[in-house]
C-alpha cells in the first residue's frame, strides 16, 4: 500500500488539473457576441492551449529526462518513444479540440461535459485493456458492473452539479460618457461637491 501513495498523489494532481480544464475553458469564452468588434472565436484560446501543451511538455519532459539520466536520442531503439509519444500527444490535443467543441456547443456547460469526458475516458481505457488482454487473463464480470456504475455516476453528477449562469460582461460605457467622466474636475465642480 505504501508504494501506491506517490502514484495516487500524481493521479489526484492530474484529476485536479483536468477537472479545472473545462471551467478554465469556459472562462475563455468571449464576453460579447458577434458582430461586436471585441468578439473572439472559441478557437482563439485553443491556440494557447497548444502553446501551453508545447511549453510544459517539452520543458517538463527535458527536465525529467535529465533528472532520470536519460539520453536525448530518439533514433534506433528509442524510435518507439518518439512515435508513440507523438500518437499520445495527438490524442491529447484532439481530445482538447473535442472538449473545446463540447463546451462551445453546450454554451459553456462544463458541469455536463466534464463528467462525460472523464467517465467516458475511464470506460474507454477499460475496454482497450480488455481488448488487449482478453486472451491472456480472466476478466471479472464486475468490470462490466463497474462500467454501468460509471454511466450512472456520470448522469448523476452531470444532472446534480450546480449550473450557474455565466458571468455577465461589464456594461460598456460609450466613449462620449467616458471622456466627460474622466475630464479633470473644474473649480466649479469642486465648489458644488463641497
pTM > 0.85: yes or no: no
pLDDT at 171: 62
96 and 113 part of one domain = no
88-112 tens-digit pLDDT? 989 988 988 898 888 888 887 888 8
- 12: in domain: no
- Residue 76, in any domain of the structure: yes
Asked if residue 78 is part of any domain, the answer here is yes
Residues 62, 117: one domain? no
Q: What is the pLDDT of residues 18-71, one digit of tens each?
A: 888 888 887 888 889 999 999 998 888 888 988 998 999 999 999 999 999 999
Q: Based on the domain organization, do 87 and 113 belong to the same domain?
A: no
155 has pLDDT over 70: yes
Task: Please count the structural domains in the chain.
Answer: 2
The gap from C-alpha 176 to its chain's centroid, in whole angstroms, comes to: 40
Same domain, 47 and 99: yes
Q: Is there a domain that residue 15 lies in? A: no
Residue 132: all three cell numbers together: 488487449
Question: Do 96 and 132 fall into the same domain?
Answer: no
Q: Are 117 and 102 in contact (CB under 8 A)?
A: yes
Structural domain boundaries enclosing 140: 108-161
Q: Which three cell numbers stand for residue 179?
A: 471622456
Listed in sequence order, the residues at least 6 apart from 150 whose beta carbon sits closer than 8 Å to its beta carbon are: 119, 122, 123
Rounded to an integer, the average pLDDT of 165-192 is 54
Is 155 a domain residue?
Answer: yes
Q: What is the pLDDT of residue 50?
A: 87
Q: Who has greater pLDDT, 11 or 166?
A: 11
Q: Would 6 be classed as within a structural domain?
A: no
Q: In this structure, is residue 156 part of a structural domain?
A: yes
Judge if 116 and 99 occupy the same domain.
no
Is residue 123 situated within a structural domain? yes
Report the 10 Å Cβ neighbour count for 158: 17
Amino acid at each position: 500500500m505504501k508504494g501506491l501513495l506517490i502514484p495516487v498523489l500524481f493521479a489526484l494532481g492530474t484529476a485536479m488539473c483536468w477537472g479545472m480544464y473545462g471551467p478554465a475553458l469556459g472562462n475563455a469564452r468571449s464576453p460579447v457576441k458577434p458582430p461586436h468588434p471585441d468578439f473572439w472565436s472559441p478557437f482563439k484560446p485553443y491556440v494557447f492551449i497548444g502553446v501551453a501543451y508545447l511549453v510544459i511538455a517539452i520543458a517538463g519532459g527535458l527536465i525529467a529526462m535529465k533528472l532520470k539520466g536519460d539520453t536525448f536520442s530518439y533514433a534506433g531503439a528509442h524510435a518507439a518513444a518518439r512515435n508513440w509519444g507523438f500518437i499520445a500527444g495527438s490524442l491529447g490535443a484532439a481530445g482538447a479540440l473535442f472538449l473545446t467543441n463540447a463546451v462551445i456547443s453546450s454554451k459553456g456547460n462544463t458541469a455536463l461535459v466534464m463528467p462525460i469526458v472523464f467517465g467516458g475516458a475511464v470506460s474507454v481505457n477499460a475496454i482497450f485493456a480488455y481488448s488487449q488482454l482478453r486472451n491472456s487473463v480472466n476478466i471479472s464480470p464486475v468490470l462490466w458492473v463497474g462500467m454501468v456504475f460509471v454511466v450512472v455516476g456520470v448522469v448523476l453528477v452531470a444532472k446534480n452539479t450546480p449550473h450557474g449562469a455565466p458571468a455577465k460582461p461589464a456594461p460598456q460605457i460609450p466613449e462620449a460618457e467616458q471622456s466627460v467622466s474622466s475630464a479633470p474636475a473644474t473649480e466649479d465642480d469642486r465648489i458644488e461637491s463641497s
